[in-house]
């Protein structure tokens, strides 16, 4: 049987870190076994589901490169099918109509809680024989077995046993005729031929109910794998208040998708001491059965380290494509300047994110808006005027405009001629060209900025210093 997995988010927000990891594991499991990965949007709650969320989720999945083979299927378009299954359950006696009012249920719950009992439906309508109250739109409840137990052989948790006596008769269809989650999941996983349900472990407790519904339908349940949650630094479930949790937010902050993927795959899973995994390696090595049982804490520092690793070691052309996106986002026109690939090569070891790289590469394409106060005070001094003048002269005369030529024919001779240390030459020039004290090695910086701009900026700096040019 070919493996079929699915990712089934509800469109009530963005694609977050936790969901992305679940999707990744699901996708990896399908890829590893040559199976199919299905995307399903669980939008039965019309109140909370939004079109914008759907778009954000799809965009996040695409950005990560988690391509789905089928879908997206929308549950909101399958109501007829769910209705049909509910009718079937009703006809076979596996479900029944319940006329209990919300008020009664609330009261019941309150009483049970007060008695320190587990709140659950008391089954009033389960065997009801008297005529139903008039004018009440009933809900449909699943008739859960009262005895026996449900055994879940979870790929991650191992064998988990639930007593049926602990389960109550859950609502599978609302009074307005719409289906509820536990019913739609069962029907969809069945209809879509899902063989492996990989999902967050907040669903572990729902699993026995779903298995019971499947049994009532005569359907063989899929294999389950409940992955642990991701926690924030405070040990609580990762959420908005912990900062960035949306996948697209990480894109915007300058992360490479492969870095996020690598971070996520290693959060809760490992392969010996290996830290770096290409997507191909993940597919080859990932085994859902090796995923940890315990929840893990999200560590932004390690993700940042991984991002830097990928910025530094990936093909510069690839990094440049992502950098282009960030440059555009900052409104920097890169048309008249150095190729982005060259900028990546020059900047990659000092930028941990692409956003940072874009922000710190502005001077390759635009004139510096001004000089950083401290930098100018320290380096654009009367003493450095001769340095800049000498540099200007030599740079202007350079035949070859390469880092090597700039270094050996301009920078170095000037330090020697004036009897200065390299720092005394490089820093004034750096401030003149970039407006600040930080940039790639000075020869590379000069080379990238280009002769024309370099000379003009030196002139401008000399002007600024009040010595004229």
Partner RNA sequence: GCUCCCUUCGUCUAGUGGCCUAGGACGCCGGCCUCUCACGCCGGUAACAGGGGUUCGAGUCCCCUAGGGAGCGCCA
Catalytic, 240? Answer yes
Rounded distance, CA 247 to CA 19, Å? 9
User: 236 to 255, contacts with RNA by CB under 7 A?
Assistant: 236-237
Please, which residue, 35 or 266, has the CB nearer to RNA? 266
Please, which residue, 205 or 467, has the CB nearer to RNA? 205
- Per-residue x/- mask for RNA, residues 190 to 229, rule CB under 7 A? -----------xxxxxx---------------------xx
Binding status of residue 421 toward RNA by CB under 7 A: yes
User: 252 to 271, contacts with RNA by CB under 7 A?
Assistant: 266-270
User: 301 to 340, contacts with RNA by CB under 7 A?
Assistant: 301-302, 304-305, 308, 312
Contact 77, 42 (CB under 8 A): no
Smallest distance from the beta carbon of 457 to RNA, in angstroms? 16
Among 139, 186, 311, 387, binds RNA (CB under 7 A): 139
Among 52, 67, 151, 163, binds RNA (CB under 7 A): 163
Using left for φ > 0, alpha for ψ between -120 and 50, and beta otherwise, residue 133 falls in beta
Give the H or E element holding residue 386.
Answer: helix 385-397
Sign of CA dihedral 280, 281, 287, 292: negative
User: 346 to 385, contacts with RNA by CB under 7 A?
Assistant: 349-350
Contact 230, 267 (CB under 8 A): yes
Among 118, 373, 397, 468, binds RNA (CB under 7 A): 118
The residues facing 96 across adjacent strands are: 141
Q: Tell me whether residue 337 is exposed, middle or buried, using C-beta atoms within 10 angstroms of its C-beta: 0 to 12, 13 to 18, 19 or more.
A: buried
Among 45, 59, 122, 341, binds RNA (CB under 7 A): 45
Smallest distance from the beta carbon of 371 to RNA, in angstroms? 14
Q: Which stretch binds RNA (CB under 7 A): 52-60, 212-220, 430-438, 451-459?
A: 430-438
Binding status of residue 53 toward RNA by CB under 7 A: no
Least Cα distance to 269 among 31, 8, 24 occurs for 24
Q: Which stretch binds RNA (CB under 7 A): 26-34, 85-93, 211-219, 235-243?
A: 235-243
Q: How many residues bind RNA (CB under 7 A)?
A: 84
Binding status of residue 289 toward RNA by CB under 7 A: no
Q: Which stretch binds RNA (CB under 7 A): 77-85, 188-196, 240-248, 441-449?
A: 441-449
Rounded distance, CA 411 to CA 387, Å? 10
Active-site option among 116, 118, 236, 240: 240
Rounded distance, CA 142 to CA 82, Å? 13
User: 8 to 37, contacts with RNA by CB under 7 A?
Assistant: 10
Which residue, chain included where needed, has tokens 């006696």?
93
Instruction: Copy the structure tokens of residue 87.
Output: 């009718």
Please, which residue, 35 or 434, has the CB nearer to RNA? 434
Binding status of residue 161 toward RNA by CB under 7 A: yes
Contact 453, 396 (CB under 8 A): no
DSSP 148-163: SEEEEEETTTEEEEEE
Please, which residue, 118 or 241, has the CB nearer to RNA? 118
Report the relative pairing of strands 36-41 and 70-74 from DSSP bridges.
parallel
The residues facing 217 across adjacent strands are: none
**b/e string for 269-288 if b means 16 or more Cβ within 10 A?**
bebeeeeebebeebbebbeb
User: 84 to 103, contacts with RNA by CB under 7 A?
Assistant: 100-102
Rounded distance, CA 86 to CA 80, Å? 10
* Helix, strand or coil, per DSSP, at residue 420: coil
Among 4, 16, 22, 42, binds RNA (CB under 7 A): 42
Give the H or E element holding residue 52.
Answer: helix 51-64
Binding status of residue 443 toward RNA by CB under 7 A: yes
Among 51, 127, 130, 273, binds RNA (CB under 7 A): 273
Contact 422, 407 (CB under 8 A): no
Q: Which stretch binds RNA (CB under 7 A): 88-96, 317-325, 362-370, 433-441?
A: 433-441
Q: What are the catalytic residues?
A: 240
């Amino acid at each position: 049987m070919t493996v079929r997995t699915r990712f089934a988010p509800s469109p009530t927000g963005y694609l977050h870190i936790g969901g992305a990891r679940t999707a990744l594991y699901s996708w990896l499991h399908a890829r590893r076994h040559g199976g199919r990965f299905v995307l399903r949007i669980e939008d039965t709650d019309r109140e909370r589901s939004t079109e914008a969320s759907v778009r954000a989720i799809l965009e996040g999945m695409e950005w990560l490169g988690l391509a789905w083979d089928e879908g997206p299927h929308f549950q909101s378009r399958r109501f007829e099918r769910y209705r049909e299954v509910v009718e079937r359950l009703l006809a076979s006696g596996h479900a029944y109509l319940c006329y209990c009012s919300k008020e009664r249920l609330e009261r019941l719950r309150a009483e049970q809680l007060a008695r320190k009992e587990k709140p659950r439906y008391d089954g009033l309508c389960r065997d009801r024989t008297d005529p139903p109250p008039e004018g009440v739109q009933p809900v449909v409840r699943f008739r859960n077995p009262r005895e026996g137990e449900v055994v879940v052989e979870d790929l991650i948790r191992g064998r988990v046993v639930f007593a049926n006596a602990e389960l109550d008769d859950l609502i599978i269809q609302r009074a307005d005729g719409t289906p509820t989650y536990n019913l739609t999941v069962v029907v969809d996983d069945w209809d879509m031929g899902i063989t492996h349900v990989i999902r967050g472990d907040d669903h572990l407790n729902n699993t026995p109910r779903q298995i019971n519904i499947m049994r009532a339908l005569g359907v063989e349940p899929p294999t389950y794998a409940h992955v642990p949650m991701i926690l924030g630094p405070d040990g609580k479930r990762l959420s908005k208040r912990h900062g960035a949790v949306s996948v697209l937010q990480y894109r915007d902050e300058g992360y490479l998708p492969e870095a996020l993927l690598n971070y996520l795959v290693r959060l809760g899973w490992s392969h010996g001491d290996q830290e770096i995994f290409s997507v191909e390696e993940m597919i080859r090595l990932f085994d859902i059965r090796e995923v940890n049982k315990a929840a893990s804490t999200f560590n932004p520092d390690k993700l940042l380290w991984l991002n830097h690793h990928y910025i530094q070691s990936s093909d510069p052309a690839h990094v440049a494509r992502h950098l282009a996106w960030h440059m555009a986002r900052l409104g920097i026109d890169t048309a008249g300047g150095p190729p982005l690939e060259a900028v990546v090569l020059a900047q990659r070891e000092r930028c941990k994110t692409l956003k940072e790289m874009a922000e710190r590469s502005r001077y390759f394409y635009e004139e510096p808006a001004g000089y950083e106060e401290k930098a100018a005070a320290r380096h654009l001094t009367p003493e450095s005027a001769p340095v800049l003048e000498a540099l200007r002269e030599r740079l202007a005369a350079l035949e070859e405009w390469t880092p090597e030529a700039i270094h050996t024919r301009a920078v170095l001779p000037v330090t020697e001629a004036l009897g200065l240390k390299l720092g005394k030459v490089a820093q004034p020039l750096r401030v003149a060209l970039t407006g600040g004290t930080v940039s790639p090695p000075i020869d590379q910086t000069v080379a990238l900025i280009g002769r024309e701009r370099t000379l003009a900026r030196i002139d401008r700096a000399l002007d600024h210093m009040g010595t004229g040019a």
